[in-house]
Structure 1
Amino acid sequence: MPKPYPEEFRRDVIAVARKGQAPLKQIAKDFGISESCLAGWLKKADITDGNRPGLTTAETEELRELRKRTKLLQQENEILRRAAAFFARELPPKMSYPLVLDLAADRIPVAVTCRVLGFSKQAFYKWMKDPVSPRDWDDAHLLNAALDIHADDPEFGYRFIADELADLGFEAGENRVQRLCSLQGIYSAFARRRALISRPGPPVHDDLVQRDFTAPGPNQLWLTDISEHRTDQGKLYICAVKDVWSNRIVGYSIDDRMTAELACAALRNAIGLRSPTATIVHSDRGSQFRSRKFVHLLSHNGLRGSMGRVAACADSSAMESWFALLQHNVLDRKRWATKEELRLAMVSWIERTYHRRRRQRGLSRLTPVEYEILNQAPLAA
């Protein structure tokens, strides 16, 4: 079964086709899809935009979600009705746990009640086992004494407060006093905040590439990075993933915000089209590539992360050179009025020119698509 095209790629192809600058057959050929596939995409897009009658994909999903939600609301209605009066008392959060006991007495499962009311089962059972622990009791007394000491001498910080508590007969370490004072907001009147110093983030992966941007086969080494360009409507960011074996852009994403989701979307597009296994994904130390979401995406799909050093452009030179090519051929050619205009220009250049028309000497004067077709036996057959 063929791999589905990414949603972002489909939107870009539809936008290019609607401009009407070329026949549908030529556009389908330029983007590497069949004419019937493009016609189907345009039909679904017309239904979604209201230009043609029919049930859209979004409406079908919405009906399915509404049925699930209706069934769930029927189960939660009784809990919410009983909880309305209870929460109107404005009790502290932990005092809401007795409501779970009352509902459990009426044969309402504890798990359902905790989920609806926003509690965790572990926290509830821990509270039920020990509603007021000796530690909490001692902390409350320590905190009351610390407040009295600080009220008498506002210039006292947690160290002086700890000394005074020891003289009063309390047995508490300095770290414990510091934690309680921080939670309560007890600070010395002379305390000054330290200036924040910006430092590069720590790497979450080792450098597995060591500036050797070669690979004996496909899907063994990918490079990724993010670039930006200005338009009259603001900046537009693109994150691209390149396979160094064929120099093909196997995944990309374009957005007006440079977030971790931009990098994750580009990687998900590449994974959806290539199905890699144990592929090395090399990047710089940008916060998007160090984010928990991006690292989890790598490990969940069996990919290995790699990162270069700080302020070492040569560690990502192969990807930087591609962005320089994009800058010279697309971004710097004119002033872009809208983000959509620049987006379509980048997509058209990547799919139509770079992948299928621009020959590269490093690939024996072949385009990236031609090189992959000739060097992959199953695809060539």
Structure 2
Amino acid sequence: MKILSIHQESQGVYGPPRITAELHDRGEVITEKTVAKIMRSLGVSGISPRTFKVRTTVIDPFASFPDDLVQCQFDQGRLDAVWTSDIAYLTCGEGDMYLCAIKDEHSKKVLGWSVADHMRTELVLGALEMAVAERGGNAAGTIMHSDRGSQYSPASGGPPR
């Protein structure tokens, strides 16, 4: 049976979507629902791509954090009043990566970003340097708001608040 053969060729990884695509590539006409039904009847299934969630917010227990200066009012009615930042985990073909982005909350424009294979402070600093350069080197008076991840903590060498 072709479905079982493709499943075995993938070392048990492929589920109905990939097996259906492979069958289509081989000239077969079949729906994903039919493939799923046949796989259930054979007692085989694919492996989910990710069964874990990566924690990108790691709070430094020794860091002190300033008061929330914006009180959830991120759009202050003008450019460069409040910038926000976050780190996202990316699964890539070459390996896992992290993306840090900095956004102006009035214009909603991403001003700076940085990608690395780590979540150290340098990731945030790279994005911050790009954002400041985007604004002509002047970010005086801008509030940088982020979660309480250790990369953003002044105590761990992160950007000042």
CA distance in 1, matches of 2:88, 2:144: 17
Using structure 1 for the length normalisation, give the TM-score: 0.25
Tell me how far apart the structure 2 counterparts of residues 216 and 203 of structure 1 sit (CA, whole Å): 29
CA distance in 2, matches of 1:216, 1:206: 21
Identify the residue that residue 153 of structure 2 maps to in structure 1: 290
Superposition pairs for residues 158-237 of structure 1, below 5 Å?
Answer: 201=61, 202-237=63-98
Mean CA deviation greater in 225-234 or 265-274: 225-234
Match of 1:278 among 135, 141, 144: 141
Q: Provide the C-alpha distance between the structure 2 equivalents of 1:209 and 1:280, rounded to a whole number of angstroms.
A: 8
Q: Give the count of matched residue pairs.
A: 100
What do the CA deviations read for 1:39-75 (whole angstroms, capped 9, x no partner)?
Answer: xxxxxxxxxxxxxxxxxxxxxxxxxxxxxxxxxxxxx
The aligned counterpart of 1:239 is 100
Q: Once superposed, what is the RMSD of the aligned Cα atoms?
A: 1.9
Over residues 277-318 of structure 1, what are the superposed CA-to-partner deviations in whole Å (9 max), with x where a residue is unaligned? Answer: 1100001110100144323xx3xxxxxx2xxxxxxxxxxxxx
- Residues 75-109 of structure 1 deviation map (CA, whole Å, 9 limit, x = unaligned): xxxxxxxxxxxxxxxxxxxxxxxxxxxxxxxxxxx
Distance change >3 Å, CA 231–CA 221, structure 1 → 2: same
Task: Give 1:1-381 correspondences, 5 Å limit.
Answer: 201=61, 202-274=63-135, 275-291=138-154, 292-295=156-159, 298=160, 305=161
Decide which structure has greater helix share: 1
Greater RCO (Cα-Cα under 8 Å, separation 6 or more) = 2
Cα displacement string for residues 259-279 of structure 1 (whole angstroms, at most 9, x for unaligned residues)? 100001100111112121110
Distance 1:293 1:217 in 2: 29
Q: 1:199 to 1:282 in 2, by over 3 A?
A: closer
Q: How much does 1:244 deviate?
A: 0.6
Partners of 2:145 and 2:69 in 1: CA distance: 8
Residue 228 (structure 1) shift: 0.8
TM-score (norm 2): 0.57
Asked if structure 1 preserves the Cα contact closer than 8 Å seen for 2:60 and 2:153, the reply is: no
Deviation at 1:233, TM superposition (A): 2.5
Contact persistence 1:241–1:251 (CA under 8 A):
yes
Instruction: Return the structure number with greater strand share.
Output: 2
Query: How has the CA–CA distance of structure 1 residues 199 and 213 changed in structure 2, closer, same or farther, with 3 Å as cutoff?
Result: closer
SS at match of 2:158: helix
How far residue 232 of structure 1 moved from its aligned partner, in angstroms, is 3.1
Distance 2:104 2:117 in 1: 25
Gapped regions of structure 2 (runs ≥ 5): 1-57
Q: Following TM superposition, by how much is the alpha carbon of 1:200 offset from its aligned partner in structure 2, in angstroms?
A: 5.3
Amino acid across the alignment from 2:158? F
**Alpha-carbon distance in structure 2 between the residues aligned to 1:238 and 1:210:** 26
After the TM superposition, which parts of structure 1 deviate over 4 Å for at least 4 consecutive aligned residues? none
